[in-house]
Amino acid sequence: MKCPYCLSQTKPSLEKREFRTVYVCSNKSCSAEIHRDYVEQINTQRGFIGLVGFSGHGKTSYLTILFYLLRQLTRLNTWNDFYFQTLDENTHRIIYNVVNILEKKSELPESTPQNFPLPSLIYFKNIYLFGDYFISFYDTAGAVYEDINRITNMGRFVAGSDVVFFIISINDCGTDFITEMERLLDIYVNAVYNHLRINLRENQHLIIVLTKGDMILNLPDNIKIFLQEGSYKWYKINNKTDSNLKSLKNISEEIKIWLEKMGGRGFIRRANDKFKSVEFTLVSSTGAAPSGIKLSTKLKPEDPKRILDPFLWALEKISKKRLIRNRWWELWHS
């Protein structure tokens, strides 16, 4: 299996550490402790998701609010028997400290430090349409993506992910957001393909995540409506859920067309050429612009919009269960 902490192939073995007996990565340069479920539940799907984006574009905020919303889904019975558990101390701290501060004090987390943090490793159970998954999330400081060499030194874990989220805030790109999108893509592709020798076309899917969607000007009305309708209730299992899900593909195409009209044709062509697949999403994490790290109002489950779309896209991309893949294809193209 692939170790979630070093992304190398490993054969974990049991080892006594102090008063504990734990599984340990077999790679001597890693030797990380690995949760027993991750090792013993050998038939459960595994996926690795990396977040890429410049500083201030909302990578860490998106991930924190995704965790907040997924926790709300377990409480609101949105996906029936769905629940999740953390698989290490770092992820436990994020879910029960960082997310709690967001929920109770309405404070967003600070930006990710440049020293590469540990992944967030979560065991998801009974995800609607997908089942059980181990998912590792890798979030690296935005400053890493300002320089090709920093990516190779500090962002290699993101580069080794199955799916990468390009987190882009159009309003934080200045007067020429297309150039900033092109710059991010150029840095990332040069570092990963040329320096790290990773063939993105064979190994990685790209999900474009346009953040702070409620603040983007000149969006077509149908995309604005789709964004505003995208609270957690949109994903609730009912007789409309299947027909709702097929619209994710439709809206991805419409966002792509809008970006092309805004001058993004070259960006889209290069992305399609370099990655296994490219999809487009639009999210609004808090429903209103915060003041610094403080939200203007207390966050409610209805506030985050379309936050689940990139997550569901990632699951679809990494799924090896052809029946599920065909199910999505049927929903999207019926």
Tokens of 271: 């992305």
- Please determine, for residue 212, whether its predicted confidence score (pLDDT) is greater than 70: yes
How far is residue 1 CA from its own chain's centroid? 22
pTM: 0.90
3-state secondary structure the chain: CECCCCCCECCCEEEEECCEEEEECCCCCCCCEECHHHHHCCCCEEEEEEEECCCCCCHHHHHHHHHHHHHHHHHHCCCCCCEEEECCHHHHHHHHHHHHHHHHHCECCCCCCCCCCCCEEEEEEEECCCEEEEEEEEECCHHHHHCHHHHHHHCHHHHCCCEEEEEECHHHCCCCHHHHHHHHHHHHHHHHHHHCCCCHHHHCEEEEEECCHHHCCCCCHHHHHHHHCCCHHHHCCCCCHHHHHCHHHHHHHHHHHHHHHHHHHHHHHHHHHHCCCEEEEECECCCCCCECCECCCCCCCCCCECCHHHHHHHHHHHCCCHHHHHHHHHHHHC
CA triplet 98, 281, 127: central angle to 5 degrees?
60
Q: What is the pLDDT of residue 240?
A: 65
Q: How high is the pLDDT of residue 297?
A: 78
Res 243: pLDDT: 66
Q: What is the pLDDT of residue 67?
A: 95
Q: Region 107-130: what's the mean pLDDT? A: 76
Whole-angstrom CA distances from 294 to 32, 66, 94, 167 are 35, 17, 18, 20
Q: What is the mean pLDDT of the chain?
A: 86
Q: Is the pLDDT of residue 308 over 60?
A: yes
Q: 80: how many CB neighbours lie within 10 A of its CB?
A: 9
Instruction: Out of 69-73, 111-115, 318-322, pick the least confident.
Output: 111-115
* Neighbouring residues of 287: CB distance < 8 A, sequence distance ≥ 6: 214, 302, 303, 304, 305
For the cut 70, the answer to whether the pLDDT of residue 263 exceeds it is: yes
Q: Report, as an integer, the average pLDDT of 157-185.
A: 89
CATH of domain 44-333: 3.40.50.300
- Beta-ladder partners of 33: 24
Neighbours of 16 (CB within 10 A): 9
The tens digit of pLDDT for each residue in 266-279 reads 999 999 999 999 99
Q: What pLDDT score does 18 carry?
A: 84
Sequence spans of domains, the chain:
1-41, 44-333
pLDDT for residue 324 is more than 90? no
